[in-house]
């Protein structure tokens, strides 16, 4: 009996150790971003794709000695890790950010600080949208478009393939992402099919500028 209890405890401890990362609850209902992002896409995207990245990340880290690292710590040394860790750590980070910068709330506003930086860098908000739309449209295959704060505190637009992101130590453009657009086909294909440009244009109707502004302020510290 004592041996059975020890086995059960060992299993529970190993399960805890290998299940470090979890999904945050989606901050709105699956249908909340309609008609710009459809409910079916949101449900599959969150409960299947993002959930899969979290599950696979925990499995890829199991037994490596890196289980206790934070997500940011993993991304900062991801070039030394397995492809499975790179892909799934990126997938988890990217989606957590993506959900947070979308909202069903109408007409959210940038902070004065962010708007000033956008105007200085891109001319105006429309200039920023054009740059991000171009980055998303020109990304061949699957990937992401980003609004990034560099270590110098400057705003830049970039894109990455697959589930890579600017937090990774091997990123071409490094910095702190404050806004992200998912251009994997699973993010839009049910509603927009091959019309990625239409998806990119529609997404601006559900941007959470309050959250983007908050992230900008944090990145500037």
| 151-177-186 Cα angle (round to 5) | 155
**Sheet strand arrangement including 155-161:** 155-161, 143-149, 176-182
pLDDT, mean of residues 14-40: 86
Residue 13 in this model has a pLDDT that exceeds 80: no
Q: What is the pLDDT of residues 173-203, one digit of tens each?
A: 999 999 999 999 999 999 999 999 999 999 9
pLDDT at 19: 53
Q: What is the pLDDT of residues 123-160, one digit of tens each?
A: 999 999 999 999 999 999 999 999 999 999 999 999 99
Q: What is the mean pLDDT of the chain?
A: 93
Nearest-10 crossing angle of helices 112-122, 125-138:
70
Lowest mean pLDDT among 4-13, 23-32, 45-54: 4-13
pTM exceeds 0.85 for this model? yes
pLDDT at 18: 46
Q: What is the pLDDT of residues 159-178, one digit of tens each?
A: 999 999 999 999 999 999 99
Q: Where do the H-state alpha helices sit in the chain?
A: 2-17, 39-44, 51-61, 71-76, 83-100, 112-122, 125-138, 189-192, 196-203, 209-219
Query: Which of the four pLDDT bands, split at 50, 70 and 90, describes residue 6?
Result: very low
Residue 9 in this model has a pLDDT that exceeds 60: no
Superfamily of domain 38-221: Iron/manganese superoxide dismutase, C-terminal domain (3.55.40.20)
| Domain chopping of the chain, boundaries | 38-221
């Amino acid at each position: 009996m004592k041996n059975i209890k020890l086995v059960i405890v060992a299993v529970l401890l190993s399960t805890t150790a290998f299940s470090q990362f979890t999904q945050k609850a989606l901050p709105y209902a699956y249908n909340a971003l309609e008609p710009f992002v459809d409910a079916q896409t949101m449900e599959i995207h969150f409960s299947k794709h993002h959930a899969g990245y979290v599950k696979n990340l925990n499995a890829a880290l199991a037994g490596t000695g890196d289980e206790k690292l934070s997500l940011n710590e993993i991304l900062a040394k991801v070039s030394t890790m397995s492809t499975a860790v790179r892909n799934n750590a990126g997938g988890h980070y990217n989606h957590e950010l993506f959900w947070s910068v979308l909202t069903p709330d109408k007409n959210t506003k940038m902070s004065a600080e962010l708007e000033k930086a956008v105007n200085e860098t891109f001319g105006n908000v429309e200039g920023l949208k054009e740059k991000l739309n171009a980055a998303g449209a020109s990304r061949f295959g699957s990937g992401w478009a980003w609004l990034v704060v560099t270590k110098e505190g400057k705003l830049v637009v970039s894109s990455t393939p697959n589930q890579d992101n600017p937090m990774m130590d091997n990123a071409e453009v490094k910095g702190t992402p404050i806004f992200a657009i998912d251009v994997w086909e699973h993010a839009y294909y049910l509603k927009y099919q091959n019309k990625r440009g239409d998806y990119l244009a529609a997404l601006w109707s559900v941007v959470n500028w309050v959250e983007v502004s908050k992230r900008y302020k944090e990145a500037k510290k």
